[in-house]
Structure 1
Amino acid sequence: MKPATLLSLAAFACMLGACTKLTVENYDQLRMGMTYNEVKQLLGTPDKCSDVLALKSCTWGNEARYVQVNFVADQVVLFNSSNLR
């Protein structure tokens, strides 16, 4: 195959979700105290966020497979995941 064809196939695979940032490796890099922007750089744009008073809760993924991160004053205070493996 030509290199251009391989590159096109790789791009198509990424569009189908093969290049997700929702991985165990990225989850393992989350740390308490990280800012929202640092988490966003690591995991990408969240699928949903809600703000209640000083608490911001964001979820990457869906109900079956997700990472949820809670922020207070723009810093991570709690995070969890489900079905990343």
Structure 2
Amino acid sequence: MKPFFLTLTALLLAVSLTACSKVTADNYDKLKAGMTYEEVRAILGKPDRCNDLLAARSCTWGNEQSYINVNFVGDQAVLFHAENIR
């Protein structure tokens, strides 16, 4: 019986950590033009993906259904967009 309870506990812990997403409307509202990449990362955590091109960087937090995207030029946020966040 103990292995079952250990497995169940581990599964519940994994689900609870996944549910703690920082991709929320409250965090999106904290974003301001001119913030640095590190300031945005302090709010949203590590991005799920980034694309760099010359002095521009586009980073996305979340997945295809629910995400926040921030575009940086010269390490400053210049444009941000969100889809299906609560």
> Normalization by structure 2: what TM-score?
0.81
* Shift of residue 19, structure 1, vs aligned partner: 1.2
User: 1:9-54: per-residue Cα shift (whole Å, max 9, x none)?
Assistant: xx82532x22111111000000000000000010000000000111
State the match for 2:79 in structure 1: 78
- CA RMSD in angstroms, aligned pairs only: 1.7
Amino acid at match of 1:62: N
* Shift of residue 73, structure 1, vs aligned partner: 0.6
The SS at the match of 1:26 is helix
State the match for 2:50 in structure 1: 49
CA separation in 1, counterparts of 2:16 and 2:21?
8
Structure 2, unaligned runs of 5 or more: 1-8
Q: Whose Rg is larger? A: 2
The SS at the match of 2:30 is coil
Structure 1, unaligned runs of 5 or more: 1-7
User: 1:62-84: per-residue Cα shift (whole Å, max 9, x none)?
Assistant: 11110000000100000000000
The SS at the match of 1:45 is coil
How many percent identity over aligned positions? 55
State the match for 1:29 in structure 2: 30
CA separation in 2, counterparts of 1:14 and 1:23?
16
